[in-house]
Structure 1
C-alpha cells in the first residue's frame, strides 16, 4: 500500500466522520477567526481532510487516486515517501494561504476540501506527461489542454466569485505542484518543453 492510498483512506475516514458529526466539521474547517484569534493553526491543514458532501470527496479522491501514485513514485525517487507526504501536506497549506490572508478578518468565511493539494498533484503530473490522454467527465483530453482550460476557468470563476468554490486554492495548488517539481529537479522543465514541442 503506497502513501497515496493511505492519504485517500485517511481523508475518506475523516470526511465521513465530519459529515456525520457537525462538531468534527466545526473543529476542522478553515475558519479565519479561529486561526487568528484562537491560534488554531492546525486548521490550515485539517480543512484539507474534510469535504462538503460525498460528491466533493469522491471527485477529489478519484483524481488523487489516478495521478497520485505516479507523482508519489517520482518524488519518492528523489526525497523518499516522506518527501511525497510532505509535498501533499504542504500543498494543502500553501494553496489556502492567499485565501486565508484575504479573509483573515472575515468571520463569515469558511473553506474545506483537498482540491488545492489535488491540483498540485494533477499539475505535477501534467508537467511530467503533458500529452497523456486523461478522461474529463469521461471525455478524452490531452493533459496539457485540460490544464490550460482548467486554469482559464479557475481564473474566470475566481474573479466572478459567484459560487461557493475556492478557485484560488485550485490555482495556487496548481502553481505549487509545478514549482515543487522544478525546485526538486530543474531538468523537468527541459523534459516538459521537449515533450510539449
Structure 2
C-alpha cells in the first residue's frame, strides 16, 4: 500500500513546521523572504516558505483543508490526466506562482517575509470548482455553499483585502493560488472548460 501524495505532503510539512516552532533562526532560513531572494539569489525560498507555519493553528487549518480536498483531487487528477504527478505539479506551482507578485512588490523590503502553504492549498481547493462546480463546501464546517459560489465570494474578498492591505494575511497569495487552481486543469486539458460550463448550467444541489 502506497501513501498518497497528499499525505506525504502533510507529513513533510508538519515535520518541518513543528520542528521550526520557537526557532526564529530556522524560520528565517526557510521563509519566503523577497529581499534575500533578490539580494542573494535564494530562489529556494519560493518553495521552502510553504513548509513552515506560524503556529499549530496555522498549520492545522492549512493541512486539514489539504486533507479534506487533496485526496479527492489527487484521484481526479489521476483519472482525468492519467497520473497523480499533475496533482503534485499543481501543489508545487501553488507554492511558487502566487508569490511572484509579492516578490516584485517587496524585493527591496528587508522587513517583509511570509510563511505558510496557503497558496498551494487554495490551488488544490479551487481545482474542485472546475470538475464539480456545484459540490457543497462547508466553510469553517458551518454553512453549506456550492463550490462555484464560494469561489466567487472568496476571490472577491481576497482581491478586496489585498488592495486594502490592512492586515498581515497574504490575501494576494490566496487570490492567485485560487486562480491557479481554476486555470491549471483547463491548461492541461482545454476541453474541461466546455464540461465546466455544461455543469455550471445544470445546477445540482
TM over 0.5: yes
**Cα-to-partner distance string for 1:68-103 (whole Å, 9 max, x where unaligned):** 112212223325233321221121100111111111
Partner of 2:197: 193
Partner of 1:132: 135
Structure 1 unmatched ranges of 5 or more: none
Higher mean Cα deviation, 71-80 or 31-40? 71-80
| Residue aligned with 2:40, SS | coil
**Cα-to-partner distance string for 1:87-120 (whole Å, 9 max, x where unaligned):** 2112110011111111111111111110001111
- Give every structure 1 segment of 4 or more consecutive aligned residues whose post-TM-superposition deviation is greater than 4 Å: none
Partner of 2:23: 21
Q: How many Å apart are 1:196 and its aligned residue?
A: 1.0
**Cα-to-partner distance string for 1:129-162 (whole Å, 9 max, x where unaligned):** 1111111122211111111111111011101111
Structure 2 unmatched ranges of 5 or more: none
Q: How many residues align?
A: 197
Partner of 2:5: 3
CA distance, structure 1, for counterparts of residue 89 and residue 145 of structure 2 = 30
Partner of 2:110: 107
Partner of 1:60: 62
CA distance, structure 1, for counterparts of residue 17 and residue 168 of structure 2 = 18
CA distance, structure 2, for counterparts of residue 179 and residue 6 of structure 1 = 25
CA distance, structure 2, for counterparts of residue 163 and residue 133 of structure 1 = 29
Query: Within 5 A, what are the aligned runs for 1:1-197?
Result: 1-77=3-79, 78-137=81-140, 138-197=142-201
The TM-score normalised by the length of structure 2 is: 0.92
| Residue aligned with 2:6, SS | helix
The TM-score normalised by the length of structure 1 is: 0.95
CA distance, structure 2, for counterparts of residue 20 and residue 5 of structure 1 = 25
